[in-house]
């Protein structure tokens, strides 16, 4: 079996399904943001982020589907195959004005079929299906639990309000510490190494080579060439910070990645980079800065973010379903 046409078997009658294409982007933005509003009270996903889901290097283009009632998009199922982590990621967006529970269950069933095909094609070894959702999305949470997933992690989206924050002055860097904006490939390869090493002890981290890492970042469509920062101590790489424009639709900045090598932790380098990011975005006229963090981070990153004035504004749960062999 090589296609994923069986979604139609799970859909309520009268709906038609097909593979998603970039031509669907406008309708996808409307649907995903409607789901955001139903779950959180406001849009949360930017256009670049949504469009990037279709072009991400690990997206399964056959299994990523849309379903319509007449001309109206009512369901979007995004499926990502990650061979490095041996997992399939499934995101389901169902029109909150329809029979959302039935559509969501159909989308999850389709995603799990894809995950089992991924498992069967990957050879021996464990394989998992994963998904995530806002903790406040009661319909989606119920469908995920009904499908057999187990909640395994809770993440916070944290935000600093730049319109009210009293930022300390941007100080000179300590002796021996340099910060440079990286735009060339050799420098980005160094950044890649710092990011991969600094996240070794984070939950669900899987190593990616430089080419795969760059493809993944490029697919997000939100690269900020002035926001790739490498921090060095006595000439040696110590920390990395990557900013992106995925929240620019909402007048906000976003810290995509912040990592400090283990031997340089506890010296205030992460806080230094964060404060630089805050000033950077204030200088661009942004209203706030956001980032995501594991609420039980092994490095205690959530406590640092609270210390500098950031507060949780979203709670996002990660779910896992281990798939038994064939």
Which residues have CB under 8 Å from 114's CB, separation 6+? Answer: 4, 60, 63, 79, 81, 88, 90
The answer to whether 318 and 137 are in contact (CB under 8 A) is: no
127-134: strand order across its sheet: 16-19, 65-69, 72-82, 87-94, 127-134, 311-323, 150-161, 288-294, 252-260, 236-244, 223-233, 177-181
Whether the predicted pLDDT of 303 surpasses 60: yes
The pLDDT value given to residue 132: 97
The pLDDT value given to residue 7: 56
Which residues are 318's β-sheet partners?
132, 153
pLDDT: is 5 or 157 the higher one?
157
Whether the predicted pLDDT of 2 surpasses 50: no
Residue recorded with tokens 């980032």 = 291
Residue range 68-116, pLDDT digits in tens = 999 999 999 999 999 888 999 999 999 999 999 999 999 999 999 999 9
Give just the sign of the alpha carbon dihedral 137, 140, 142, 148: negative
Beta strands in the chain (DSSP E): 16-19, 65-69, 72-82, 87-94, 127-134, 150-161, 177-181, 223-233, 236-244, 252-260, 288-294, 311-323
Residue range 25-66, pLDDT digits in tens = 999 999 999 999 999 999 999 998 899 899 888 999 999 999
The pLDDT value given to residue 291: 96
Burial of 183 (0-12, 13-18, 19+ CB in 10 A): exposed
The pLDDT value given to residue 3: 46
| Domain 7-148 homologous superfamily, CATH | Gcn5-related N-acetyltransferase (GNAT) (3.40.630.30)
The pLDDT value given to residue 220: 66
C-alpha distances in Å from residue 131, one per residue of 78, 108, 316:
10, 9, 10
The answer to whether 235 and 204 are in contact (CB under 8 A) is: no
C-alpha distances in Å from residue 234, one per residue of 127, 196, 259, 265, 280:
43, 21, 18, 15, 24
Flag the least confident range among 17-31, 161-175, 215-229. 215-229
pLDDT: is 8 or 305 the higher one?
305
Q: Which residues of 273-296 are buried (b: 16+ CB within 10 A; e: fewer)?
A: bbbbbbebbbeeebbbbbbebbee
- CATH 3.40.630.30 segments of the chain: 7-148, 158-316
Q: How far apart are alpha carbons 199 and 119 in whole angstroms?
A: 26
| Confidence label for 325 from pLDDT (cuts 50, 70 and 90) | low
Residue range 142-199, pLDDT digits in tens = 999 999 999 999 999 999 999 999 999 988 899 999 999 999 999 999 999 999 999 9
| Domain 158-316 homologous superfamily, CATH | Gcn5-related N-acetyltransferase (GNAT) (3.40.630.30)
pTM (whole model) above 0.85: yes
The pLDDT value given to residue 5: 55
Once rounded to an integer, what is the mean pLDDT over residues 126-148? 97
Among 243, 268, 279, 272, CA closest to 166: 279
The pLDDT value given to residue 238: 97
The pLDDT value given to residue 9: 63
Mean pLDDT of the chain: 91
Two structure tokens written together for 230: 């490498």
The pLDDT value given to residue 234: 96
The pLDDT value given to residue 320: 97
Q: How far apart are alpha carbons 22 and 194 in whole angstroms?
A: 33
Q: How far apart are alpha carbons 247 and 219 in whole angstroms?
A: 15
Two structure tokens written together for 39: 């779950």
Residue range 260-293, pLDDT digits in tens = 999 999 999 999 999 999 999 999 999 999 999 9
The pLDDT value given to residue 170: 87
């Amino acid at each position: 079996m090589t296609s994923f046409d069986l979604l139609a078997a799970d859909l309520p009658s009268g709906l038609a399904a097909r593979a998603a294409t970039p031509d669907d982007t406008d309708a996808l933005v409307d649907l995903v943001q409607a789901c955001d509003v139903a779950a959180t009270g406001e849009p949360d996903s930017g256009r670049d982020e949504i469009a990037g889901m279709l072009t991400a290097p690990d997206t399964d283009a056959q299994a990523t589907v849309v379903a319509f009632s007449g001309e109206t998009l009512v369901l979007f199922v995004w499926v990502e195959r990650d061979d490095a982590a041996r997992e399939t990621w499934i995101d389901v967006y169902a029109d909150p004005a329809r029979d959302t529970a039935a559509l969501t269950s159909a989308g999850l069933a389709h995603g799990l079929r894809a995950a089992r095909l991924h498992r069967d094609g990957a050879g021996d070894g464990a394989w998992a299906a994963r998904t995530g959702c806002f903790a406040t999305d009661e319909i989606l949470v119920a469908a995920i639990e009904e499908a057999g997933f187990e909640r395994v992690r809770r993440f916070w989206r944290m935000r600093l309000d730049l319109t009210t924050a009293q930022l300390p002055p941007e100080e000179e860097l300590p002796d021996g510490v340099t910060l440079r904006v990286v735009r060339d490939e050799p420098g980005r390869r160094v950044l890649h190494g710092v990011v991969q090493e600094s996240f070794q002890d984070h939950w669900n981290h899987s190593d990616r080579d430089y080419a795969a890492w760059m493809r993944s970042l490029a697919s997000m469509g939100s690269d900020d060439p002035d926001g790739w920062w490498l921090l060095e101590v006595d000439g040696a790489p110590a920390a990395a910070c990557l900013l992106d424009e995925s929240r620019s639709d909402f007048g906000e900045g976003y810290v995509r990645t912040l990592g400090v090598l283990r031997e340089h932790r506890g010296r205030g380098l992460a806080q230094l980079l964060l404060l630089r990011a805050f000033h950077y975005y204030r200088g661009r006229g942004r209203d706030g800065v956001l980032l995501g963090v594991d609420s039980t981070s092994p490095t205690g990153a959530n406590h640092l973010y609270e210390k500098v004035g950031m507060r949780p504004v979203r709670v996002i749960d990660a779910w896992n379903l281990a798939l038994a062999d064939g």
